[in-house]
């Protein structure tokens, strides 16, 4: 008889683990318990449903429960795993639909419980009109809230805050973006933040930086955000100040967390407990530039985690090779891509870090419709080792950041970058690729 694999959480990492394991080893019994009503969806697409560009939340679903069942995978939405006994390998599950609790057993367990938004410690966050954006249910609530909303305030200018600012503007709302640090995308360097600020303001977003949020005012329904710099009227508030991993279940069963506070795993996504794996936003990754565990709760990483865990459980050789921190997002016309360490982060890490920042174009100077493109390179003085970089462009040209990511994987230098034979034609690049121009400037 086949072994039984139970997956706790079925959004990205969990869904990938289940699908991959069953595909590689059809003898496995595979069951997925998902607390919410949705499994296997692209949460990264939620801002584009809010904007109206994607006509319905259902479009985000990668694989329906029906498709999972056809593959022989038991998928159970609205089922919350409330307790796990690792000695007996027994789970206690609460079925929210039926209102009953039952037990199940596993040979292999995948913890894919994801992450949840953190709320700032200020009064008023419990009121109506205050939202976060993480799950499909969050998306449903926000979609309803958008009808009739006029003035939105967004707390936090990270990826989610920035993407939703665009979505809200596309819905015709007045939008004020509130950020405690001195710039949008504060985890990256100021040159990129300056570009972002300009783009946001050109599209009618009010950007308040260096501002402390003190309270959400209102009497049961939010009316305004009280800040260190003044009051922002708002009938809709999105809190996008950060997320934290849902590690409670893991901790209760004795699964060890790593230094980041997410679940520690090895390259095969195994936790400290025999037969117990972790995948997705609840799990750490190894950062190949920093050389230590790092928490990178992004959809592509979650899928890689899950696929690795699923393969290993199915008896296949598989490893997750870690991250270098690559990310990209869209802010109106700008595509902003970063990888590795920002200059500020590199300095904090003790590197003798330098940076080069150049403006170029995404096509030949004479090619009609070519648009500006910016490159930042972060490198170590003396060794010229590349530590990180950013590419800001109008569209897919920002994917040049992947070349930097490839170099970071192998401790590449500026010289290694300059040696590259990159693709050139007038519609796609200047004759000197912007990456090469930046590397020349750096040397």
Closest CA to 280 of 25, 40, 71: 40
Q: CB under 8 Å to 116, separation ≥6 — which residues? A: 134, 243, 244, 246
Query: Binding mask 300-339 vs its own copies (x if CB under 8 A, - otherwise)?
Result: xx-x-----------------xxxxxxxxxx----x-x-x
Q: CB under 8 Å to 433, separation ≥6 — which residues? A: 400, 422, 423, 424
Asked whether 222 and 128 are in contact (CB, 8 A), the reply is yes
List binders of its own copies among 376-435 (CB under 8 A). Answer: 393, 395-403, 405-407, 409-410, 416, 418-429, 431-433
Q: Measured from the CB atom, is 104 or 384 closer to its own copies?
A: 384
* Backbone φ/ψ region at 377: left (φ over 0), alpha (ψ -120 to 50), beta: beta
Report the half-sphere exposure of 217 (CA within 13 A, side-chain side): 10
Catalytic residue among 44, 143, 364, 399: 44
- Output the CA angle 336-286-415, nearest 5 degrees: 60
Beta carbon of residue 338, minimum distance to its own copies (angstroms, whole number): 8
Beta carbon of residue 239, minimum distance to its own copies (angstroms, whole number): 21
437 binds its own copies (CB under 8 A): no
143 binds its own copies (CB under 8 A): no
Q: Measured from the CB atom, is 252 or 422 closer to its own copies?
A: 422
**Near its own copies by CB under 8 A, which window of 77-85, 93-101, 104-112, 294-302?**
294-302
Compute φ and ψ for 325, nearest 5 degrees. 85, 30
Beta carbon of residue 401, minimum distance to its own copies (angstroms, whole number): 5
Compute φ and ψ for 137, nearest 5 degrees. -60, -40
Beta carbon of residue 425, minimum distance to its own copies (angstroms, whole number): 5
Beta carbon of residue 290, minimum distance to its own copies (angstroms, whole number): 13
Q: Which of 26, 27, 59, 411 binds its own copies (CB under 8 A)?
A: 59
Asked whether 264 and 272 are in contact (CB, 8 A), the reply is yes
SS3 for 272?
A: coil
Q: Measured from the CB atom, is 31 or 403 closer to its own copies?
A: 403
**Near its own copies by CB under 8 A, which window of 88-96, 99-107, 149-157, 298-306?**
298-306
SS3 for 60?
A: helix
Q: Measured from the CB atom, is 16 or 227 closer to its own copies?
A: 16
SS3 for 103?
A: strand
Q: How many Å apart are CA 200 and CA 333, to the nearest integer? A: 10
Closest CA to 33 of 48, 47, 18: 18
Closest CA to 213 of 166, 169, 165, 181: 181
List binders of its own copies among 35-54 (CB under 8 A). Answer: 42, 44-45, 48, 53-54
Beta carbon of residue 316, minimum distance to its own copies (angstroms, whole number): 11
Beta carbon of residue 158, minimum distance to its own copies (angstroms, whole number): 13
90 binds its own copies (CB under 8 A): no
Catalytic-residue membership of 333: no
Query: Burial level of 274, CB count in 10 A (0-12/13-18/19+)?
Result: exposed
| Site residues for its own copies per CB under 8 A | 12, 42, 44-45, 48, 53-54, 59-60, 62, 288, 298-301, 303, 321-330, 335, 337, 339, 362, 364-368, 393, 395-403, 405-407, 409-410, 416, 418-429, 431-433
Residue numbers annotated as active site:
44
């Amino acid at each position: 008889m086949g072994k039984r694999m139970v997956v706790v959480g079925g959004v990205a990492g969990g869904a990938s683990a289940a699908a991959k394991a069953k595909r590689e080893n059809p003898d496995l019994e595979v069951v997925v318990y998902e607390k919410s009503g949705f499994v296997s969806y692209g949460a990264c697409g939620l801002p584009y449903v809010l904007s109206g560009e994607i006509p319905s939340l259902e479009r985000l679903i990668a694989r329906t429960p029906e498709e999972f069942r056809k593959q022989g995978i038991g998928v159970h939405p609205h089922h919350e795993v409330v307790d796990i006994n690792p000695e007996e390998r027994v789970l206690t599950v609460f079925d929210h639909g039926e209102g009953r609790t039952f037990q199940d057993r596993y040979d292999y367990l995948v913890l894919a419980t994801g992450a949840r938004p953190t709320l700032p410690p200020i009064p008023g966050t419990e009121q109506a009109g205050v939202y976060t954006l993480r799950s499909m249910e969050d998306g449903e609530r926000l979609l309803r809230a958008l009808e009739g909303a006029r003035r939105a305030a967004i707390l936090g200018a990270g990826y989610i805050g920035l993407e939703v600012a665009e979505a809200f503007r596309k819905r015709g709302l007045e939008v004020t973006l509130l950020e405690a640090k001195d710039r949008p995308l504060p985890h990256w360097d100021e040159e990129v933040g300056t570009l972002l600020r300009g783009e946001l303001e050109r599209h009618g977003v009010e950007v308040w930086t260096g501002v402390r949020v003190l309270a959400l005012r209102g009497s049961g329904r939010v009316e305004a955000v009280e800040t260190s710099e003044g009051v922002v009227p708002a009938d809709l508030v999105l809190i996008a100040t950060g997320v934290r991993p849902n590690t409670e279940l893991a901790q209760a069963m004795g699964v060890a967390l790593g230094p980041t506070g997410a679940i520690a795993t090895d390259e095969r996504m195994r936790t400290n407990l025999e037969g117990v794996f972790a995948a997705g936003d609840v799990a750490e990754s190894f950062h190949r530039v920093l050389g230590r565990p790092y928490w990178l709760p992004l959809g592509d990483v979650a899928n890689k985690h899950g696929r690795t865990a699923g393969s290993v459980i199915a008896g296949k050789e598989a490893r997750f090779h870690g991250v270098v921190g690559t990310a990209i997002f869209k802010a109106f016309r700008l595509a902003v891509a970063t990888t590795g360490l920002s200059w500020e982060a590199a300095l904090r890490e003790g590197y003798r870090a330098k940076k080069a920042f150049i403006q170029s174009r995404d096509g030949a100077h004479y090619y009609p419709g070519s648009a500006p493109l910016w490159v930042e390179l972060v490198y170590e003085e003396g060794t010229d080792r590349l530590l990180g970089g950013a590419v800001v462009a109008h569209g897919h040209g920002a994917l040049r950041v992947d070349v930097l990511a490839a170099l970071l994987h192998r401790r590449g230098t500026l010289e290694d970058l300059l040696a590259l034979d990159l693709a050139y034609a007038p519609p796609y690049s200047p004759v000197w690729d912007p990456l090469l121009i930046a590397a020349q400037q750096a040397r």
